[in-house]
Chains A and B, each alone.
Chain A
Amino acid sequence: MESLYLVFAGLGVFLVIFAVLFNKLRVANISVNEALAQIDVQLKRRADLIPNLVETVKGYAAHESVTFTKVTEARSATMKATTFDDKVSSDNMLTGALRGLLAISENYPDLKASANFLALQEELSTTENKIAFARQYYNDSVLVANSLVTTIPTNMFAGVAGVKLRDFYAVENEADRKLPDVKF
């Protein structure tokens, strides 16, 4: 009789521990998904800003068509990207193209002085920052989730909870790793 109680008690303790660890894994996984969604929101915002920016710069520097084409192509690549890897690479491409666009604007004092351009620059630089911070938050969330998946005791339940190792949002070149440096 007594041993039966012991078995039930043991089972109860196991269930509580299981529930706590299971939930911990699931919550970590959800926050990774949320963080990823935030990156998408900010990338979309940037894509929406670009036509306006390109039009403004064109008004002052119409003959820099190569740069405009680069930006427009990179933008449409980000819009088409569906897989995680595509998103990361097209995002990096667009960041580079935008940097080129802002660099040529340095050569046009009238453009730099226009109120419309200044407002766009602030929008663009804050969006670049938001993308960087969203990536950073995503990577922090991935770090938490991956630690849970690989360390004892949560790793024993990762399979049951359906939580797998997640990819970090890698930035391609070393210069991009820093906060985007959009100088005005």
Chain B
Amino acid sequence: MTFKDVAKRNLRKSIYLLVFMFFFVILVAISIGYYLGIDPTIIFIPALLIAIFSSVGGYWGADTLVMSITKAKIITPEENPQLHNLVDEMAIASGIKKPKVAIVQDTAPNAFATGRDEDHALIAFTTGILEVMDREQLQGVIAHEMAHIKNRDTLVGVIATVSAGLIAVLVDFSWRLAFSSRGGKKGGNPLLLLGAVIAIILAPVAAMLIKAAITRKREELADASAVAFTRNPAGLRRALEALRDDSSVVTSDNKSVAHLYIESPLVKSKLSSWFDTHPPIQDRIDLLTSMES
């Protein structure tokens, strides 16, 4: 499989998931409306507005917000010439602007990219990753992060977060309404009513699953694009192997920024889960190994 095939496949799957998410939100809204016996648009529109406002704020302030959560500090080319050189190289290979370079004081090896577009992009590295990785490995990591920026994964992430947040708000609304308007105009087909209740209960879980599936796809896409930039799958593969063999976890880990990191910074377990923001690291290594031959 070439990196181009992988990129195409992942892009297609991401789009399917986003479309699915869109219809899912509408379905939940209709279910709630049916359950409460009211016009779905009455709750749908305010919920949509809340979800959009809260996430747009996060989107526009993504770089500054993430920097303050992770305590990342921007560094100059003089402070670390080699790191800046590597970022320069990947900026040329990917054809995008050079992002800002930052350091997070943490011994666990990891890295992440953020920013809503090329102009506000930032790549941050933990001090741990700079210690354990050689030039070739770091180049692979940077290529992966550059791919996130070029593929506009922050945007896809925002859409996924908006939809998941929207469903949470919708469900929250409907419970409040259900309790405050006891004895309201409920009725109709009991089977449909039961279906509506189940849909409302399961909706937040389902939304989280879809969101995790979307970010997992974006990780695979970023791995494939990284190879397109470096033409050297071995660099990223060796970097992921180093991350796999390291059991330390980023201390300032925070669920809200977990999907940004090259490797999930949350507690590592051997079991892969449908709630994971990243594909199992061994699967990623295997895919890269298959590209090497």
Contact = CB atoms under 8 A, between A and B. Distances in A.
Nearest to B232: A179
Contacts of A137: 92-95
A151 to B, nearest CB: 17
Interface string A121-137: 01100100110011011
A183 B88 CA distance: 20
The majority secondary structure among interface residues of chain B is helix
Contact of B93 (A122, A123, A133): A133
Interface residues of A, number: 16
Nearest to A35: B95
B231 A130 contact: no
Nearest to A126: B85
A179 B89 contact: no
Contacts of A38: 92
Interface of B: 81-82, 85-86, 88-90, 92-95, 229-232
Given A122-B81, A122-B82, A179-B231, A130 B89 contact: yes
Interface-central residue, B89, B92, B94, B95, by most chain A CB under 10 Å: B92
Contacts of A154: none
Contacts of A126: 82, 85-86, 88-89
Contact of B231 (A31, A134, A136): A136
Contacts of B82: 122, 126
Given A122-B81, A126-B88, A130-B88, 6 more contacts: A31-B95, A126-B82, A133-B90, A137-B92, A141-B95, A179-B232
15 contacts: A31-B95, A35-B95, A38-B92, A42-B92, A122-B82, A123-B81, A126-B85, A126-B88, A126-B89, A129-B89, A130-B88, A133-B93, A133-B229, A137-B93, A141-B95
A179 B229 CA distance: 12
Nearest to B81: A122
A134 B90 CA distance: 10
B197 to A, nearest CB: 50
B86 to A, nearest CB: 7
Interface in A64-118: none
B291 to A, nearest CB: 16
A35 B92 CA distance: 9
Contacts of A31: 95
B184 to A, nearest CB: 52
Nearest to A122: B82
A137 B89 CA distance: 11
Contacts of B92: 38, 42, 130, 133-134, 137
Contact of B85 (A35, A122, A179): A122
